[in-house]
Amino acid sequence: SQTIHQWPATLVQPVGSPLSLECTVEGTSNPNLYWYRQAAGRGLQLLFYSVGIGQISSEVPQNLSASRPQDRQFILSSKKLLLSDSGFYLCAWSVKGGSGNTIYFGEGSWLTVV
């Protein structure tokens, strides 16, 4: 069966520091990969999605970037964090062309920028 892991689960970072959140998917190949952000009291915002290695689409302009160095690895980064980057970050995956694009989520990472 497929599983998705992301880490770290919790992170407290000072303003201006770098960020790296990592996500890996197991049990499938060539998945679509996603990074979502959930700010306090708000819904889910799609930040990035990727359909293959090195292929990244950004949904909103922001202080963050994403990379996909391997088929099942997806990394969310920032060179200098802002207070507004605080939130709950969710990695997710889906099967290409399958099941109406059902998306499966990881456990999430809490980021607090102080």
Residues in contact with another protein by the rule CB under 8 A: 32, 34, 42-44, 46, 49, 51, 90, 92, 94, 96, 99-108, 110
Distance (Å, whole) CA 53 – CA 74:
9
> CA 21: distance to chain centroid?
7
Residue 49 or 74: the one with the smaller Cβ distance to another protein is: 49
User: CB of residue 95 vs another protein: minimum separation in angstroms?
Assistant: 10
User: CB of residue 79 vs another protein: minimum separation in angstroms?
Assistant: 26
Distance (Å, whole) CA 30 – CA 46:
20
Termini Cα distance of the chain: 38
Residue 43 or 69: the one with the smaller Cβ distance to another protein is: 43
The DSSP code for 14 is -
Residue 17 or 96: the one with the smaller Cβ distance to another protein is: 96
Q: Which of 53, 52, 36, 30 is nearest to 87 (CA)?
A: 36
User: CB of residue 87 vs another protein: minimum separation in angstroms?
Assistant: 13
